[in-house]
């Protein structure tokens, strides 16, 4: 497949290097792949809460006045540069969130390699990336489903398995029904764990039950939701928590944690911050991990698990590329369950 010389892509633009961005559709060149680079025709991309923070100017993107947004995208390899050995034309791939975090501990400058941040992202018809910054999609997933994986999927995997060492029979607490929590639910059920999930919408809780949740809590109706968590676990508490709420939910999460449990500190939907009293961990042998997505090795391990268990990501809606602004508006509204996808084919 011959790639065109120009393409359509969305860019976030602003005057100067501080403050909010505006989303604009522009014409841009297609850059031919250089040594060890791969040209990908992007078929689909997906949004995360982080993309709203970027647009609002509340996320570190360096001294940039323009960038291509979205860390998450999947597509087809259409050309390879000299020396490429990991991929061939026709391979189905997704970009990894941090282009320079391949395995193990991250390097000191890994944050500067984040797609849709200090590196142009995936809301574009074509992208040229180093071959090391890509993984193959699980064969059971479409491009739209594959586009949901790089941020939310890897974050949930890292929190539960790489750092949390999830075991069969564990009880997992998931906050809300967005991307990370929906992946956490799917992974927990597939691994033989029990999942309790919170939401402010009873309809979303019903959908979570249909996906395998064993307990649900409406945190609007029950602000001290650690009480029903303890009731659902016969007073023991939960073994794993994907903590995405931030300072508002953290105190309740800590009161929900079992002896020897693990809390993955991930997000700040209710505001970043919050304190963890040392005795909350020392007195129970619990652990807390700061989770910032994960490595390529995490992504590849997750993909193998997805293929083995035939997991299908929860896609709330697929929105046409021409209407990408509607996808950002939907993400800001919270009127969705799982992931929001933008299709370049629609």
Give yes or no for residue 345 having a pLDDT over 90. Answer: no
Residue 269 has pLDDT above 70, yes or no: no
Round to whole Å and give the CA distance between 62 and 175.
Answer: 31
Where does the pLDDT of residue 271 fall: very low under 50, low under 70, confident under 90, or very high at 90 and above? low
Q: Is residue 298 part of a domain?
A: no
Whether residue 277 is found in the same domain as residue 219 = yes
Tens of pLDDT, residues 155-171: 999 999 999 999 999 99
Q: Is 260 within a domain? A: yes
- What's the mean pLDDT in 168-196? 98
331 close to 49: Cβ distance less than 8 angstroms? yes
* Number of compact structural domains in the chain: 2
Residues 14 and 90 in one domain: yes
Q: Please report, for the domain that includes residue 114, its CATH number.
A: 3.90.180.10
8 Cβ neighbours under 8 A, 6+ residues apart = 25, 26, 27, 28, 124, 125, 321
Q: Confidence band (pLDDT; 50, 70, 90) for 129?
A: very high
Residues 12 and 142 in one domain: yes
In a domain, 303, yes or no: no
Rounded mean pLDDT, 198-227: 97
Q: Tell me the pLDDT tens digit for each residue of 214-225.
A: 999 999 999 999
- 267 part of a folded domain: yes
Bridge partners, 13 (sequence order): 22, 66
Contact between 42 and 68 under an 8 Å Cβ cutoff? The reply is no
Same domain, 20 and 146: yes
Q: What is the mean pLDDT of residues 120-136?
A: 98
State which of 275, 290, 305 marks the end of a domain. 290
Domain match, 279 and 321 both: no
% of the chain surpassing 90 pLDDT? 90
* 119 within a domain of the structure (yes/no): yes
Residues 102 and 147 in one domain: yes
User: What pLDDT does 149 receive?
Assistant: 98
Question: CATH code at 182?
Answer: 3.40.50.720
For residues 129-141, give the mean pLDDT. Answer: 98
The arithmetic mean of pLDDT across residues 50-54, rounded, is 96
Q: Over 90: is that where the pLDDT of 286 sits? A: yes
Residue 304 lies in a domain: no
Q: What integer best gives the mean pLDDT of the chain?
A: 95
With bands split at pLDDT 50, 70 and 90, how would you rate the model's confidence at 70?
Answer: very high
| Domain hosting residue 264, numbered range | 164-290
Residue 312, classed as helix, strand or coil, is coil
Give kind and range of the element (H or E) at residue 146: helix 143-146
Joined tokens for residue 99: 């282009």
Residue 270's pLDDT band, with cuts at 50, 70 and 90, is low
More confident position, 11 or 267: 11
Can you tell me which residue has the tokens 């403050």? 19
Are 146 and 12 part of one and the same domain?
A: yes
Beta carbons within 8 Å of 178's beta carbon, 6+ residues apart: 49, 152, 244, 269, 336, 338
Instruction: Examine residue 306 and state whether it is found in any structural domain, yes or no.
Output: no
Q: Are residues 46 and 71 in the same domain?
A: yes
For 21-41, what is the mean pLDDT? 98
Residue 346 pLDDT level (bands cut at 50, 70, 90) = confident
Which pLDDT does position 19 carry in this prediction? 92
On whether both 142 and 188 belong to a single domain, the answer is no
Confirm whether 158 is domain-assigned.
Answer: no
Is there a single domain that holds both residue 49 and residue 174?
no
Tell whether 70 and 112 lie within a shared domain.
Answer: yes
* Model pTM score: 0.96
Give the mean pLDDT of 90-97: 98
């Amino acid at each position: 497949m011959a790639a065109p010389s120009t393409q359509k892509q969305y860019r976030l633009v602003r005057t100067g290097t501080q403050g909010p961005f505006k989303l604009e559709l522009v014409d841009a060149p297609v850059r031919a792949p250089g040594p060890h680079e791969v040209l990908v025709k992007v078929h689909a991309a997906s949004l995360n809460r982080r993309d709203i923070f970027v647009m609002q100017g509340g996320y570190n993107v360096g001294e940039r006045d323009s960038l291509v947004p979205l860390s998450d995208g999947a597509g087809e390899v259409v050309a390879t540069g000299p020396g490429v050995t990991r991929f061939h034309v026709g391979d189905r791939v997704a970009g990894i969130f941090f282009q320079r975090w391949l395995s193990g501990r991250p390097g000191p400058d890994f944050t500067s390699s984040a797609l849709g941040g200090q590196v142009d992202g995936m809301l574009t018809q074509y992208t040229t990336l180093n071959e090391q910054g890509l993984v193959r999609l699980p064969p059971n997933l479409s491009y739209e489903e594959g586009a949901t994986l790089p941020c939310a999927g890897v974050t949930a995997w890292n929190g539960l398995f790489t750092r949390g060492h999830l075991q069969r029979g564990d009880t997992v607490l998931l906050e809300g029904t967005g991307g990370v929590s929906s992946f956490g639910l799917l992974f927990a059920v597939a691994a033989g764990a029990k999942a309790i999930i919170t939401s402010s919408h009873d309809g979303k809780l019903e959908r979570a039950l249909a996906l395998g949740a064993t307990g649900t809590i409406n945190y609007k109706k029950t602000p001290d939701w650690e009480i029903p968590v303890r009731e659902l676990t016969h007073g023991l508490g939960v073994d794993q928590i994907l903590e995405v709420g931030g300072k508002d939910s953290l105190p309740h999460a800590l009161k929900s944690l079992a002896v020897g449990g693990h809390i993955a500190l991930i997000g700040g939907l209710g505001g970043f911050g919050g304190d963890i009293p040392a005795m909350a961990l020392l007195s129970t042998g619990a652990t807390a991990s700061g989770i910032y997505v994960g490595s390529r090795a995490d992504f590849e391990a997750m993909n193998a698990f997805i293929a083995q268990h035939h997991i299908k990501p929860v896609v709330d809606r697929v929105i046409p590329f021409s209407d990408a602004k509607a996808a950002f508006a939907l993400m800001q509204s919270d009127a969705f369950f799982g992931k929001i996808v933008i299709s370049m084919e629609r």
